[in-house]
Each structure stands twice: as C-alpha cells, then as structure tokens.
Structure 1
Amino acid sequence: MPSPSQPSTGERRPRAMVIDTAWRGLGPGPQALSGPGGAPLTRTVKLIVLPLIVRPALRPELAADFLDAREAEQLDALIRESAAVLEATARWFTLLKKTRRALGIVAGNPQDLYFQRCFELATEHGAPGPGADAVARAVLEDVVDASGGRTVEALREHLADAARRARLDAELAAAWDGREAVPISVPDAADTGLAAEVLEACGAAGAAGADAPAFDAMVRAGHGSLLGRALWAAHPADVWDRADVPPHLGLTAHRVPPRPEVGRSASTATLPAPFDRTLFERLFTVLQASTHREQLPTVPELVRREVGRSCAPLGLFDESLRVTVVLGGRLAVGLDPLGAGTSVAGSTAAHRVVNGRWQREASVLRARRMTVSPRPDPDGGVLNALAQDLRTPWAAYMRRLWVRLHGRDVRDAALPDAASAWGVLDGVARSVMMDHRARVRTALRTLSAAAEPAAEPRSA
C-alpha cells in the first residue's frame, strides 16, 4: 500500500520532494521548523531530517537523490513516525529563542546552534514541561561556553584594537608582497585534460565514489597553486575554453585580486566576492556558519592564520582544496540549466549529471520559457532576474564552492581523494539549485498574493 502522503506512482521521485510532501503532511505541529509555505527549512533538512531521522549512513538505500516507490514509502514513514518528536523539537526551539532573547544573547544563528540540541531535548524529555525554562537556560549557557569565545562579537573586539589592526595590516602587506606571482601558461594553470578526466570518473561513478588517479596527480603537481598564481600575474585568457567568462569566474570583481584589508564589519547581504573580502569578512562567514565552534582555533589564532591564507593562491592553504577549485571551475563553465547548448570542450559525465538534474527542475523549466518568450515580464522583472541567473550559473556556483572550501581549510579538513572532492562539488551544485528553487517559489508566492483582488468592503 502506498503511504498516505505520497502519490501512488511507480516513477522514481526526488528525495527532496518526498521529504517536502511528508513534512507538509505533519500539519502545523513543527511550524517553528518550517518556512512560510509550510515546507521544512533548509537547515531543518540539513541538521535534523537527514542526519537524525533519515540517517543515510545506516540506510544507504535512502542516500540517493531519487527514490523508487518502496524507498519513498520508507522515507515517508520515518518522517511520519517522528511527528511527535518533531513537534516537541519545534516547541523547544521556540522556548530556547525566547530564553536567548531574555539573556541578551545575539551571537550565532539560532537554527545552526540549537536545532540539533532541541531534537536531543525532545527525544529525552518530550515537549517542554515543568522545569523547561531552567533546562533551556542551561543549554544556552552550555552552547556559549562551548564556543569558547569563538564568536563574531569576539572577532570584532579583537580587531577593534588600533595597534593590533596596524600590525595585522603590516603583516598583510608583507605577505602580499612576498607572493610568488609568475606568468604561467594556460594549460598548466587549469590543466583541462586532467580536470576532465577526474570529472568524467566522478560523474560516471556517482555516489559510489570514484577512483581517479588524475586527482592525486593534480595535487602532486600543484595545479591549484598554479592557477592561483596565474590569476595574480598574467590574468590569462581562455583558461576554461570559454571566452565569455572571466578567468577568475567571478571570485573577484577586479581584473587582478586586490590585497586583502583587515576590516572591522560584515553583512551577509552585502558580502563582496570571495577574493575581495577583508579578514573580518572571511572569518565572519566561518563563525556564522559553524555549528561546532569548539572545533575551531581561538579567535587570535584564526586571525593569525587568515593573514597567510588570504595571501595564498586562491585564498586557500591546502592543495587538495585548491585543486578542487580547478575542478569546480571546469564543472562550472559547463553548467547549462536552461539547456541552451552552452558547453565547453570535453564536457564530462559530471556535467551531464548536474545539468540533467537542473534541467528537470520545474522552476528552471519556467525560466527557460521566459528566456524565449517575446512577451514582457509581467512581474516587473523579478522572475526575469531569476531566469538571468540561470544564464550565468557559474557565478553562484563558484562563490558557494569557495566559501565551502574555505571553511574546510580553516578546519584543516583536506579532501583526500576524488570521491570526497566530488561530494563537495556535487553538494554545492545541489545547494545552488535548491536555493534558486526557493527564490522562484518565494517570488511566485509574492506575485500570487499581489494578484489577489482586495476584499470587498462590507455594506453597512
């Protein structure tokens, strides 16, 4: 028998769609973990549903992006069976946010910091009851202690000292002047042949992993460092076999990356391109996104290391991460969500996997229709702007990839092989796709609400 909330179709279904449908079937109970439209928040899926309910490591049949009918029913059942604990989790989260405000705590994203703690509380205690206020206060204090002062506020205080800022600025100038920026030929910079070999192996192997000796060869030869130095020195043309994209793929707004500054503030809404960020902005993103800050170095050590890292090739220390930038660039310039025929020489199985996934998206199909429609955009440009994003998908992809690799570099989390690199590359592609889908849905909801006729006033 098909599950109550899933359609009785024999077709394979996207796992994300199965989760969305099952979640909506839970009703208003977990509202604090849901978005305005009733779907689970992205962080809910990332921090609660997948690791704590689905647990793909223990249920590998549920780890795939597309599930057959039997697997979809299993996933649906897992979520429905967790309805009570999810509702309790939502109530604990509401209580922790209320207590957080009362204590004047402003550091960190509450979802990142508390979602998994709330699930633990719900599993152990059920819904909040007598004594819950004291438990919530203890959890908040524990989270603050665990961060060990690794907060944006601590970073701001550390960089507020004028003498320290002057010393850091001098260190940045010395590190920047000491770079090895030498002209490098285009083939050496991106090594399109080896990169294509790795992407072909990864795309063909999929989630099963890939044995790609070319990845190790690229790391040993330092191809990531070569690309970073080429961008400093020669700003080579046609690195990616495409004349319509910049060699740095939007990682800087400048012809050549500028020397990083110290900085003292940051805003998520106005962050510049990765290579153009200050020390403060680079570490701001790390601290904002960290769910286990106790694993990070202390703020003074974070700052000290970032001086050298920000002046290193591609803004990264580890060569396996730099090589992953090269691979990501090669993948990014061949992304073609609209199916417009955009391609690069030597498109690979990885390109076919990612492009095929994007081209099946309903939001992408609508955007594709808009790009060929002669009619003006009726919404004043909102949807047209979203369609335009799909014409240059490499920009959002590379920006998100660099941020993810930078976070790994700060934690000394190298990528040991091609399979682990592909996990990051493919994960970023999914993330960008889901973000675009969410933006389209938000725009459509806004337009639909605006189109609704105003209610008729009642006659006296």
Structure 2
Amino acid sequence: MPPPSQPTDARRPRAMVIDGAWRGLGPGLEPLSGPGGAPLTRTVKLIVLPLIVRPALNPELAADFLLPAQAARLDALISASGTRLQATARWFTLLKRTRRALGIVAGHPQDLYFQRCFELAAEHGAPAAGADALARAAVEDVADAVGGRTVEALKDHLADAARRAGLDAELAAGWERRRPAPAADAATAVAPAADVLEACAGARPSPEYAAMVEAGHGSLLGRALWAQPGGVWGRDDLPAHLGLTGRQVPPRPEAGRGASTATLPAPLDRTVFERLFVVLQSSARRDELPAVPELVAREAGRSCAPLGLYDESLRVAVVLGGRLAAGLDPLGTGEAAPGDTAAHRAVNSRWRREASVLRARRMTVSPRPDPDGGVLDALAQDLRTPWAAYMRRLWVRLHGRDVRDAPLGDAASAWAVLDGVARSVMMDHRARVRSALRTLSASASGPVHAPASAAPATAAQAAGQRSA
C-alpha cells in the first residue's frame, strides 16, 4: 500500500477538496480570497485548517490526500461554515477600516485579524448595530497584545549606542566560547538520517529519531561546520553547509541595524537584527513572543550556537533536511546524492509531476536557446540546485519554532515540517514560473501562450496552497 502522503485513484488532494468547497460557498468571501476565487494561503493556514478542519480533533483529515469519505467530511465542514466565513470576511473589512482610522500600521492585517474576525463572527454573526465599537476594541486589543513587538521597536532598541556596544561584546564572547568538532564528525552526525527518512515518510515509527536527538547529532553537525568539513552528503559538488552560509564557514554574527527582505543573506550569515526581522515580519501571534529586549538577548546566544539554533530536535531536523535536500532531483537527471529513501521518492515524484518542472526539464536538455530571453531558462536552472532554496526555507521555519520554544517531539512532527517545506519550495517555484509567463506575455507584441504542460494539472495546483 502506498504511504498516505501519495495520491492514488481513490484519494483526492486535500488542497483540491478545500478549493472546491470554498468556491461552492458563493459570493461574499472576496476579502478572504485571491483574484482567482481560491482561498488565500493565510485563509487556509489561519482559519480553515485550525478553526474549521481542526486536524488535531479530526486526525483523519490531517493527511495530504483524502479518501472519498474523508473528502466528503471535509467538504461538509467547510460548507457548514459558509455563513460564518461570510461574516468573517465582513468583519475583516471593518477591522481594516478601523485600523486605518486609528493610524495603526504595524503588522500584517491578515496575520493579526483573521482569527479574531472568525471569533467575532462566531459570537456576533455579521457586523450589525454596535459593530464599530466592537471592531475598535478588537483592533486596540490586538495592538496591546503585540505590545511593541514590531520591527520599529527592534530598530529603536538597537539604535542605542551603549546597548549595541554591549551586544557586540556579548556576541564576541559567545563566539569565542564555541567548541568546534572535528570535521570528520559531520559524517557521523548525518549517518542515521537515511533510516529516519525512510521510516517517517512511510508513516512508520522511528526510534532512530529520538536516538539522534538524545545523542546530539544536530549539535555535532553544527560544531563540525565550524571546522569546514567535506564530503558530508555523498556528493563532492555540495558544500557541507548546503547554502546556509555564503562563506566556507559561518562568520561571527553581528548586531546589525537594518534589514530588507530582498537582500537578506544566507541564514547563518545574518545579523541579530536580520534574524529577528524575519520573525517579527512573519509572526501571526506576536503576543506569544517575548518582549524585544528579551528577544534580542536570547538571539545573541542562539546566533552563536550550533546551526544558529538552541533546541536539539530542531538541529536534528536540519540534519534530516540536509540529507533530504542532497537527494532532491526534480529534473530526474540522476545528479542527486545516492541513497534513495521513501522521503526522496515522495518529494521527487511529486515535484516531477509539476507542469513547470516538465517544461524546465525540456529546456535544460534542449540544445536550442531559450526563446523567452533567458527568464524561464534561469528558473529551469534553479531546479538543478533545489537544495539551496530548501535549506534556506527550512532553517527559517525551524528558527521561528526555536524562538517560540516549539520543539519537534517525534519523527512524525519532524516529517510534517520537512515535507511542508518541500511543498512550499515547489509552489514558490510554480508561482515564479507563472509570474515570468505573465510578464513575457505582457511585454510581447502578441500574447505568449504557455504550452499545455505549463498549465496546472489539477484544481489543487491552481489553488496554489502552501503547506505550513
């Protein structure tokens, strides 16, 4: 029997079921939907899954692919929530208007208000008499909960010269206290990863995962990276750090004073400011974060720790992710590292079915120049080094969990993160291909039509949902 992460003729992708049920709800959901009518990624992540589907209480709905009875159950749950979701959309419009009137600009409105709007819809229905006062109270309550946990507060905190000098001294001392491991220990740290990936992707218990955490394999790899190891992943062309740093070894972290999403360096090269900038920008629940002074103090120690993480289970997830990333081969070229596992088969087979990958595969083997001026060819070449994007996104996700003290308690939890990152990278590449095609079409004298293989193969792909 195929593992539950793989489709069969009987199973339907959960994303497709959600998309179909959502579109069946009719008008009134525009504030929660994208231009094509599908639910926004944040709508699925913040409302549909945690508040309607509730996989913790309905574990049969937690799989990526659902049997007919499970798909019908999911469709029924979303359909039954239609009135509440339409009310949620109206509350969200009202809270955004109230936010503008109060002059509040910090934070992303969807992250801050989606779940609060669903609560208001559950308690009060659609906005009616007295809704303005309720909206103002909700916006002010959220602002109080955020409590200065903003990028602006971080910038103000690190603008103080004496505070920055103290932080720089702390970082220098922490870096000097490092204990690099022999470079040869990197291979030892990675050795059990294949067994864990084979077991967890096949939905089997993996005692090796707990053994890796207990033995500190993540710390061992992180300490070995300070000693510039080689040949860690079974391929001479792959750096041991897999793109987590742009240097041969991670540099000593600095305090920093600014950041830009467009120019962020590799994860282990980031300043304390840049690390926390990403956390504050992406946090849906900032009230769960420590205050900015504590955030900075803890990040100083974390940035000097192995792999830039405190929790050992998260460090082990980097080891597992590296072992998976080294074997990613979306183009089917056979250039990936040897040692195929169930995890590699699941991710690679899914990726190779992508329409954008099918086109990229043709482009990378065709002797003809790219007729689109090189734009799509560059995207195709990205698929030759998929490990770089995968490890960068994995580290960011694990770092966010580390800041919130959210370890990965078992192999199933670790696999959910590893597989989710793979889906996210795949969908991001798909979106970039679509954007390039739209740009080329708009700039050409006549429309540039994508071949049939460039169109999404399923409604689930059209929805473009990212796995959290």
After TM superposition, the score normalised by the length of structure 2 is 0.88
- Given candidates 391, 402, 405, the residue that maps to 1:398 is 391
Q: Secondary structure at the match of 1:159?
A: helix
- Given candidates 198, 205, 213, the residue that maps to 2:207 is 213
Q: How many Å separate the matches in 2 of 1:54 and 1:150?
A: 30
Does the CA-based 8 Å contact 1:43-1:111 persist in structure 2?
A: yes
Match of 2:143 in 1: 144
Match of 1:179 in 2: 178
Match of 1:6 in 2: none
Match of 1:457 in 2: none
Question: For the structure 1 residues 77 and 449, does the alpha-carbon distance in structure 2 shift closer, same or farther, using more than 3 Å as the test?
Answer: farther
Listed as ranges, the gaps of 5+ residues in structure 2 are: 1-7, 448-468
Question: For the structure 1 residues 33 and 381, does the alpha-carbon distance in structure 2 shift closer, same or farther, using more than 3 Å as the test?
Answer: farther
Match of 1:126 in 2: 125
What letter is aligned with 2:310?
F
Deviations 1:41-91 (A, max 9, x none): 111111111112222233333222122344334333433333332222222
Q: How many Å separate the matches in 1 of 2:438 and 2:79?
A: 27
Structure 2 residue 230 is the aligned partner of structure 1 residue 237: yes
Question: For the structure 1 residues 368 and 37, does the alpha-carbon distance in structure 2 shift closer, same or farther, using more than 3 Å as the test?
Answer: farther
Superposed counterparts of 1:89-108, under 5 Å = 89-108=88-107
Match of 1:200 in 2: 198
What letter is aligned with 1:215?
Y
- Given candidates 405, 411, 432, the residue that maps to 2:425 is 432
Does the CA-based 8 Å contact 1:89-1:127 persist in structure 2?
A: yes
Does the CA-based 8 Å contact 2:186-2:229 persist in structure 1?
A: no
Match of 1:327 in 2: 320
Q: Secondary structure at the match of 1:395?
A: helix
Match of 2:453 in 1: none
Structure 2 residue 283 is the aligned partner of structure 1 residue 290: yes
Does the CA-based 8 Å contact 2:186-2:224 persist in structure 1?
A: no
Superposed counterparts of 1:57-456, under 5 Å = 57-186=56-185, 188-192=187-191, 194-205=192-203, 210-233=204-227, 235-449=228-442
Question: For the structure 1 residues 58 and 325, does the alpha-carbon distance in structure 2 shift closer, same or farther, using more than 3 Å as the test?
Answer: same
What letter is aligned with 1:23?
W
Q: How many Å separate the matches in 1 of 2:445 and 2:91?
A: 36
Q: How many Å separate the matches in 2 of 1:70 and 1:150?
A: 44
Deviations 1:354-388 (A, max 9, x none): 11222222332233233233443343333333322
Give the percent of matched residue pairs that are identical in Structure 1 and Structure 2: 77
Listed as ranges, the gaps of 5+ residues in structure 1 are: 1-8, 455-460
Following TM superposition, the consecutive aligned residue runs of length 4 or more in structure 1 with deviations greater than 6 angstroms are none
Q: How many Å separate the matches in 1 of 2:186 and 2:160?
A: 45
CA positional deviation for 1:163: 0.7
Does the CA-based 8 Å contact 1:184-1:226 persist in structure 2?
A: no
What letter is aligned with 2:435?
T
Question: For the structure 1 residues 187 and 246, does the alpha-carbon distance in structure 2 shift closer, same or farther, using more than 3 Å as the test?
Answer: closer
Does the CA-based 8 Å contact 1:176-1:311 persist in structure 2?
A: yes
Question: For the structure 1 residues 275 and 223, does the alpha-carbon distance in structure 2 shift closer, same or farther, using more than 3 Å as the test?
Answer: same
Q: Secondary structure at the match of 1:227?
A: helix
CA positional deviation for 1:105: 1.4
CA positional deviation for 1:11: 4.6
Does the CA-based 8 Å contact 1:152-1:288 persist in structure 2?
A: yes
Q: How many Å separate the matches in 1 of 2:276 and 2:299?
A: 8
Question: For the structure 1 residues 15 and 451, does the alpha-carbon distance in structure 2 shift closer, same or farther, using more than 3 Å as the test?
Answer: farther
Higher relative contact order (CA 8 A, sep 6+): 2
Question: For the structure 1 residues 378 and 349, does the alpha-carbon distance in structure 2 shift closer, same or farther, using more than 3 Å as the test?
Answer: same
What letter is aligned with 1:222?
G
Q: How many residues align?
A: 440
What letter is aligned with 2:217?
H
Deviations 1:242-270 (A, max 9, x none): 11221111111111111111112122222
Question: For the structure 1 residues 19 and 369, does the alpha-carbon distance in structure 2 shift closer, same or farther, using more than 3 Å as the test?
Answer: farther
What letter is aligned with 2:163?
R
CA positional deviation for 1:418: 1.9
